[in-house]
Amino acid sequence: MGSKVAIIGSGNIARDHLVALRSIPDVEVAYVYGSNLERAASLAALYPGAIATTDIDKVLRDPAISAVDITNATPDHARFTIAAGQARKHVHVEKPAALNLPDLDAMIAATEGRELSLMVGQTVRFQPSIATIAASLQGGEIGTPRLTHVSWYTGYVWPGGWRGWQLDAAKSGGHPVHNGSHCIDLAIWLLQRTPVRVFARSFPSYAAQMPVHDSFQLTVKFDDGSLALLEISYSLRKHADMLRRIVVAGSEGTLAHTTEDDPGLTSDGARPAPSSIEGAMTAQLSHWVDLIQGRAAPIVKTAEVRATLATGLAAQQSLETGRAIELSLPSIHAKGAML
Partner 1 sequence: MNAESATVRKPKLRIGFLSGIRHAVPYAEILAEMADVELVGVAEDSVSPAWMKGDSAKAAAAVGIAYFDSLVPLLDANTVDAVVVCSEPTRHAELAARALAAGLHVLVDKPIGVNRADIAQLAKAEATAVGTLSVINRLQSPAVQRLRRWVDAGTMGLPLHVDVEWFASGAHFATSVERPELVVDPSLSGGGELLNFLLYPVDYIRFLTGLEVVEVHCEASTLFSQLHEENGVEDCAIVSLLLENAVTATVTVGRVPAAPGLGPVSSSIRILGSHGNASSDDDKPQVSRYDTAGGISALPVGGPSSVAILRIMLKQYVQELQSGRTPTYGLHDAAASFAVIEAAYDSVKSGQPVRVSTAR
Q: Is residue 322 close enough to count as binding partner 1 by CB under 8 A?
A: yes
Q: Is residue 203 close enough to count as binding partner 1 by CB under 8 A?
A: yes
Q: Which of 243, 273, 296, 338 binds partner 1 (CB under 8 A)?
A: 243
Report the sign of the C-alpha dihedral through residues 229, 232, 233, 236, in that order. positive
Q: Which of 147, 157, 296, 303 binds partner 1 (CB under 8 A)?
A: 147
3-class DSSP state of 335 = coil
Q: Is residue 201 close enough to count as binding partner 1 by CB under 8 A?
A: yes
Which CA distances in Å does 257 have to 66, 217, 274?
38, 19, 12
In the bound complex, what is the minimum distance in angstroms from residue 200's beta carbon to partner 1?
8
What's the one-letter identity of residue 109? A
Exposed (0-12), middle (13-18) or buried (19+): which is 55, by Cβ within 10 Å?
exposed
Q: Which of 131, 249, 273, 296 binds partner 1 (CB under 8 A)?
A: 249
How many residues lie near partner 1 (CB under 8 A)?
Answer: 43
Q: Is residue 117 close enough to count as binding partner 1 by CB under 8 A?
A: no
Q: Is residue 326 close enough to count as binding partner 1 by CB under 8 A?
A: yes
Q: Is residue 205 close enough to count as binding partner 1 by CB under 8 A?
A: yes
Report the site for partner 1 in 157-196 (rule: CB under 8 A). none
Q: Is residue 131 close enough to count as binding partner 1 by CB under 8 A?
A: no
Give the containing element (helix H, strand E) for 307: helix 302-321
Q: Which of 61, 253, 295, 335 binds partner 1 (CB under 8 A)?
A: 253
Closest CA to 228 of 248, 245, 256: 248
As a whole number of angstroms, the distance between CA 136 and CA 254 comes to: 10
Q: Is residue 260 close enough to count as binding partner 1 by CB under 8 A?
A: yes
Cα Rg, the chain, nearest whole Å: 19
In the bound complex, what is the minimum distance in angstroms from residue 183's beta carbon to partner 1?
13
As a whole number of angstroms, the distance between CA 105 and CA 299 comes to: 19
As a whole number of angstroms, the distance between CA 131 and CA 170 comes to: 33
CA of residue 16 relative to chain centroid, distance:
14
Closest CA to 69 of 285, 330, 328: 285
Give the containing element (helix H, strand E) for 288: helix 280-292
DSSP designation for 269:
S
Whether the CB-CB separation of 311 and 319 falls below 8 Å is answered with no
Site string for partner 1, 55-94 (x = CB under 8 A): ----------------------------------------
Q: Is residue 136 close enough to count as binding partner 1 by CB under 8 A?
A: no
CB nearer partner 1, residue 19 or residue 227: 227
3-class DSSP state of 228 = strand
Q: Which of 12, 23, 138, 251 binds partner 1 (CB under 8 A)?
A: 251
Q: Is residue 271 close enough to count as binding partner 1 by CB under 8 A?
A: no
Q: Is residue 324 close enough to count as binding partner 1 by CB under 8 A?
A: yes
Q: In the complex, which residues of this chain contact partner 1 (CB under 8 A)? A: 142-143, 146-147, 149, 151, 153, 197, 199, 201-203, 205, 215, 217, 219-221, 225-229, 231, 233, 235-237, 243, 245, 247, 249-254, 256, 260, 322-324, 326
